[in-house]
Structure 1
Amino acid sequence: MTGFLRRHWLLLLLLAGGITLRVLTWLAYQPALLYIDTFRYLDNLEALRPTDLNPLGYTVVLKGLLSLGGFGFVAAVQHVVGVLIALTLYSLTLRYTSRTWLAAIVAAPVLLDAYQLQIEENVMSEVWFQALLVGALWLLLSRGEPKWWRVALAAVLVAAAVLTRTIGITVVLPMAVYLVLAGGAWRTRAGWKRIGVRILAGALGFVIPLVAYAAYFHSQAGRWGLTGAQGNVLYGRTAAIADCSQLPAGDAGLLIFCPPEPLDERLSIDYYTHFRYGDPNWPYVPLPDDRTKQELADEFAWTVIRNQPVDFVTAILHDFSKNFAPVKTTAPNDVPVERWQFQTIYPYHDIGAESVQIYNATTLAYDGVLPSVNVELASFLREYQLGGGYTWGPVLALAGVLGLLGALGVGKARRSGLRAAAFLATGSGLIILLGSAAFEFSWRYQLPALVLLPLGGVLGLAAMFGLAKRDPGTGGRRPKMADYPDEVDDGAVADFRARYGDAPLTPLVVVIAAYNEAKGIGPVLRNMPTHCGDLPVSTLVVVDGATDNTAEVAEDNGAYVCVAPRNRGQGGALRLGYHLAAEYGAKYIVTTDADGQYDNAEMPMLVKPLLDGTADFVTGSRRLGTGQYDSKVRWLGVRVFAVLASILTMRKITDTSFGFRAMSAELARSVTLREPQYQSSELLLGVMARGARVLEVPMTMHLRNNGQSKKGRSLKYGANYARVMTGTWLREYVLRGGKRRAALPQPVRTPTDARETA
């Protein structure tokens, strides 16, 4: 418990602040804040008309919540949802980086932003729209490359978001791009087949709910649609900028729709959308031909767009840029920012004649109380909000830039597995802001960006500066790999063939798995023997999704380099190396590490039993030779696991984790290898279960020549190592009937090698 508190203290501090602010908000405004849209939802609770201005998503949610309690209950639930969104974003970020302060940055805007608090207190759809988007991100990003069923579920959530707020439809574009980029599958033909499957799953998950809803809409309206808002939205945007002199002079219908106000005195988009077009009696003159009001509004809007494309785009980009202003103010003709700010008196919005009476009657009906404000609490919240208690616009802009730079591969992001994730979060946030600005600007429409842009920015930052976990999406314990070849293997092999063609490697290939070993791998490669006996030696370095220039250093030192597009762990890199070496003509494979722990000069002794035909698999042993240990825990672990392996296989083993090994290429390819991290015991027990002639020889093991070991020293690491060993034994010996009593050749010894024995 103490460790948890120490690790997550910053989140807990933010969480305490966020929960406190929400309690104060809930107590300050009773029973809740009601906005103009609230009454539209309430008016449709029983009829559930799909043809209203707002789609039915939030109406259905609200109907369910009100069946359990009043507006106070709705507001309380929405505050809880806001906290859960923040915790979900925090947890999701920690699947990609171990830096808790970065995850706290992602959670902070949702927890502490006063505009977020205010909208949660409103009986409105915003927080549910945010929750659906975060749920879709969780499914797509939380467990490695997305499988088709997770894509389908995420698409269903996006469809639900569209039926909550139609602007959610813009997310489809970044989601589709993400499905192509995720995991690097686009690099191979086989990968494109997998991409096709998940795109099809996503399309069905998105389209089926919307088609079903549109069919219900059609049954009520006699036409297909998702919302009653149609011509009025585009009409409002274009009416505010329309140059009436550019309209066709002879078209009286279009001229009726052009606002009478001079161009420099035009009213707000909101006014033209809701009050002018929304007035059922407008136009106040008969239409001159057979075109309907909606048809004329649509034709007017598109005529303005064709005649004034620069004005149209400029107006949208101008409104889009307002999202990143340092101070939240009300620009001319914009929706007043005061609507989203805490007030010291209860805000009765103009919903027609006798607004106050309608508000009072509504809260009395659902909660039995009149709308009220705790002035002291409201004053505190207002001072907090106006005093800077919100997400600064330039910070959101910075997050967007970082997310885009990370997605583009700037810095260490070029080989990072976070690029597609950063693009999905950042692209979704920006396209929602842009889509909202295409209608009109409101600070309310910025709120979805609070859950998207900080996440994308942090993922981009982690990618560019190498702050990502080695295995994004697994929470520290890597999932088992699929059988070879998976999508990462396909991408790496395709890249290798593109760079080296089909030229064969030598019969003896040294395979090295390397992750961020740029500083240490050079001496290892320079000291690599060129021959073992009569066999020439070539070296294949498998760069396991590194974020540094390991690949460049390896190539500069004469190695063949295979680059895995995503980090999976040493087991995945070595398995890829085994298959690739065999496919390129290797007969024998040697493995060593990139950190200089093994003595390359001992390679002839390691390979000789293979060449003599006296063994199929030769592994070094520091206990038979000389071993240096960086901790007493590791010294003990080597001995404990040797005893465990000997008991499980009933064959004498002195060292299960020595990485300097030699084997036939066919044997290496025949073993089932699915462990990405604790692979050495899986390989050893796997070859023994096949009855291979296994030989241990005395070898030397030094401390690393650079950096820190990527193997843990903790009991957790040991527990996972034991888990893999016993799991491999169960799979290979119990379930598959391995040859547990095959003879183990005696160690090769020389007079000078009479060292420690097991």
Structure 2
Amino acid sequence: MAHRALVIAMLPAVGLRLLAVLGFPPALLFYGDSFAFLAEEPAPGTSRPSGYSLLLALLRPAHSLTLVTVLQHLLVLALAVAVYALLRRRGLPGWGATLLVTPLLYDEFMVLLEHMIMADAVFVVLVAAAITLIVWRVSPTTAAVGGLLLGLAGITRTVGLPLLLLTAAYLLIRRYGWRPLVALLVAGAIPLGAYATWTKVEKGKFALTEADGNFLWSRTMSFADCAVIQPSERLSVLCPNMPVEQRPYPPHWLWEDFSPLLKVPGTANRNQLAGEFARAAILAQPVEYLGAVVTDLGQLLRWERTAADEKTPYKFPAAERPISESVRGVAESYEGGPAATRVVEPFAGWLRAYQRFGYVPFPLLSLALAGTLVAALVRRRWDALLPGVAALALIVSPPFLAAFDVRYVIPAIPLVCLAAGLTLGTGTPFRGERPQPRHRREAVEVA
């Protein structure tokens, strides 16, 4: 059997996801975010786009959170098969291609996000599928489908927006012609434009969110010193009122009662003032800003994802988590019954035990990405640079724009696997992907 190694690897991977379905029915819920996505009447989000909400709305008639999580599990498994198929096409043996997709199949955090009512698993699939398709074969059709997927990723999580431009730059630099480039950009603009128009109708502003300024402002709370910044009177209300060494992590400044951001009236006004303050802080304290970013990126050197005694939502729970009365109705309306996560032993316990070791440590992931980018340049594997640089962008951009979070790194995993395989492969891109220069065609005709 040509694909025996993949089949053997898939069986335990399916087993892990079955443990999640059996051990934590109907789904894992993430603080307030999950309930916002589950709202009965989807609306353009303030702090995040609502693309995932639209997917949940399509599935609502089934009244099954289990259906949502099973679909997410299947999508990631299908993505692993697609990456495997491309790597085989590029000359890797079956065992080698299988080895490179094992992080996607077995990483415990991937299983966790697939089983959670959050946009992350769908975002991972949209981004990685788009880049896999474009690397597989560049044509107007594949570029259009890839652009559409990246556009959908952009309305799922805004961090996906730069990837559309990055892919367009790849097509332009590699000189694939104007037709794939235009197809990519037009197709990508369709979901983005439609969503922004929806926001305009609902909120009067042509945008994807109304919180980019808020997030950047929260980033500056790691270092902002108003004695140095000297903000105008209208911005001074956003000055932090506690010493730097006592300040909590940036995301807390977005939601907690102590945040001066919550004193600013009006969503649009708050976002605008926060953005102005953040830009002033960065310009006044560029060294401190970069220092905060570097400190956050230093967490990539941490071997453990989460310590055994660390309080974090990124663990499979040991006990049922009651749903707050304020949002219980939202979840139960979607589920058509009780929606709190149940913990069913022994399946839940087996998955909790696996979580302690079943992951790719971030230092190894970072080393693999760096090594792949260097090797791709040395070996002139230009197609490996697209997933490699995309992975780098996904890892690095959050600390610049908001803060580091473990789950923000996970979308890079399939891209690093893909880039590494393309770098190691012995095959060449599909013939006809890139049009030959005119003088070469004429030479062939003469011969």
SS at 2:316's partner residue? coil
Matched, 1:323 2:288: no
d(CA) in 1 for partners of 2:150 and 2:330?
36
Deviation at 1:380, TM superposition (A): 1.5
d(CA) in 2 for partners of 1:449 and 1:101?
22
Deviation at 1:358, TM superposition (A): 4.2
Deviation at 1:365, TM superposition (A): 6.1
d(CA) in 2 for partners of 1:127 and 1:430?
18
Unaligned runs of 5+ in 2: none
Partner of 1:242: 224
Partner of 2:59: 65
SS at 2:436's partner residue? helix
Partner of 1:374: 344
Deviation at 1:39, TM superposition (A): 0.6
Partner of 1:444: 407
2:238, 2:261 within 8 Å by CA — same for their partners in 1?
no
2:143, 2:184 within 8 Å by CA — same for their partners in 1?
yes
Deviation at 1:24, TM superposition (A): 0.6
d(CA) in 1 for partners of 2:395 and 2:292?
14
d(CA) in 1 for partners of 2:238 and 2:127?
37
Deviation at 1:447, TM superposition (A): 1.3
Partner of 1:390: 359
d(CA) in 1 for partners of 2:315 and 2:412?
18
Partner of 2:242: 261
Partner of 1:178: 170
Alignment of 1:746-757 (within 5 A): none
Which whole-Å deviations, capped at 9, do the CAs of 1:149-203 have from their partners, x for residues lacking one? 3212211110100001111012134312321344xx4xxxxxxxx5333322222
Which whole-Å deviations, capped at 9, do the CAs of 1:89-119 have from their partners, x for residues lacking one? 1112112123222311332112111111111
- Taking CA–CA contacts closer than 8 Å with sequence separation of 6 or more, which of the two structures ends up with the larger relative contact order? 2
2:388, 2:415 within 8 Å by CA — same for their partners in 1?
yes
Letter aligned with residue 172 of structure 2: V
2:60, 2:334 within 8 Å by CA — same for their partners in 1?
no
Partner of 2:6: 11
Deviation at 1:29, TM superposition (A): 0.6
Deviation at 1:33, TM superposition (A): 0.8
Over alpha carbons, which structure has the higher Rg?
1
SS at 1:487's partner residue? coil
d(CA) in 2 for partners of 1:451 and 1:174?
17
Judge which range, 421-430 or 221-230, deviates more. Answer: 221-230
d(CA) in 2 for partners of 1:239 and 1:63?
36
Letter aligned with residue 179 of structure 1: L
d(CA) in 2 for partners of 1:367 and 1:38?
16
Larger relative helix fraction: 2
d(CA) in 2 for partners of 1:116 and 1:206?
26
Letter aligned with residue 316 of structure 1: V
2:92, 2:421 within 8 Å by CA — same for their partners in 1?
no
Partner of 1:522: none
2:113, 2:121 within 8 Å by CA — same for their partners in 1?
yes
Partner of 1:613: none
Letter aligned with residue 355 of structure 1: S
d(CA) in 2 for partners of 1:97 and 1:271?
48
Matched, 1:488 2:446: no
d(CA) in 1 for partners of 2:169 and 2:108?
33
Percentage identity across aligned positions?
27
d(CA) in 2 for partners of 1:252 and 1:244?
11
2:65, 2:334 within 8 Å by CA — same for their partners in 1?
no
1:433, 1:449 within 8 Å by CA — same for their partners in 2?
yes
Deviation at 1:76, TM superposition (A): 1.4
Partner of 1:340: 314
Which whole-Å deviations, capped at 9, do the CAs of 1:416-446 have from their partners, x for residues lacking one? xxx2221011111110111222211111111
d(CA) in 1 for partners of 2:284 and 2:184?
37
d(CA) in 2 for partners of 1:265 and 1:344?
32
Partner of 1:301: 278
d(CA) in 2 for partners of 1:361 and 1:41?
10
d(CA) in 2 for partners of 1:325 and 1:299?
34
d(CA) in 2 for partners of 1:292 and 1:214?
19
Deviation at 1:323, TM superposition (A): 3.1
1:66, 1:74 within 8 Å by CA — same for their partners in 2?
no
Q: What's the Cα RMSD here?
A: 2.8
Q: Which of 389, 393, 398 in structure 2 is aligned with 1:427? A: 389
Partner of 1:620: none
Q: TM-score, normalised by structure 2?
A: 0.90
Partner of 2:36: 40
Deviation at 1:364, TM superposition (A): 7.5
Which whole-Å deviations, capped at 9, do the CAs of 1:556-589 have from their partners, x for residues lacking one? xxxxxxxxxxxxxxxxxxx98755xx5xxxxxxx
Unaligned runs of 5+ in 1: 186-193, 331-335, 349-353, 474-478, 494-574, 583-668, 670-758
Alignment of 1:397-416 (within 5 A): 397-408=366-377, 410=378, 413-414=379-380
Deviation at 1:209, TM superposition (A): 2.8
1:29, 1:371 within 8 Å by CA — same for their partners in 2?
yes
Matched, 1:468 2:426: yes
Deviation at 1:296, TM superposition (A): 2.5
Alignment of 1:250-649 (within 5 A): 251-275=232-256, 282-283=263-264, 292-329=269-306, 338-347=312-321, 355=324, 358-359=327-328, 362-363=331-332, 366-369=335-338, 370-386=340-356, 388-408=357-377, 410=378, 413-414=379-380, 419-438=381-400, 439-460=402-423, 462=424, 467-469=425-427, 471-473=428-430, 487-490=435-438, 493=440, 579=445, 582=446
1:31, 1:367 within 8 Å by CA — same for their partners in 2?
no
Q: Closer, same or farther in 2 for the Cα pair 1:244/1:141, shift >3 Å?
A: same
Deviation at 1:134, TM superposition (A): 2.3
Partner of 1:94: 88
Which whole-Å deviations, capped at 9, do the CAs of 1:682-737 have from their partners, x for residues lacking one? xxxxxxxxxxxxxxxxxxxxxxxxxxxxxxxxxxxxxxxxxxxxxxxxxxxxxxxx
Q: Closer, same or farther in 2 for the Cα pair 1:376/1:27, shift >3 Å?
A: same
Deviation at 1:247, TM superposition (A): 2.3
Deviation at 1:140, TM superposition (A): 0.5
Q: Which of 99, 108, 114 in structure 2 is aligned with 1:120? A: 114
Q: Which of 206, 209, 213 in structure 2 is aligned with 1:231? A: 213
2:127, 2:153 within 8 Å by CA — same for their partners in 1?
yes
Larger relative strand fraction: 1
d(CA) in 2 for partners of 1:126 and 1:278?
27
1:240, 1:272 within 8 Å by CA — same for their partners in 2?
no
d(CA) in 1 for partners of 2:444 and 2:326?
78
Q: Closer, same or farther in 2 for the Cα pair 1:64/1:361, shift >3 Å?
A: closer
Q: Which of 126, 135, 140 in structure 2 is aligned with 1:132? A: 126
1:239, 1:259 within 8 Å by CA — same for their partners in 2?
yes
Which whole-Å deviations, capped at 9, do the CAs of 1:343-369 have from their partners, x for residues lacking one? 211345xxxxx7267448834761534
Alignment of 1:193-204 (within 5 A): 195-204=177-186
Alignment of 1:587-736 (within 5 A): 669=447
d(CA) in 2 for partners of 1:100 and 1:321?
35
1:35, 1:122 within 8 Å by CA — same for their partners in 2?
yes
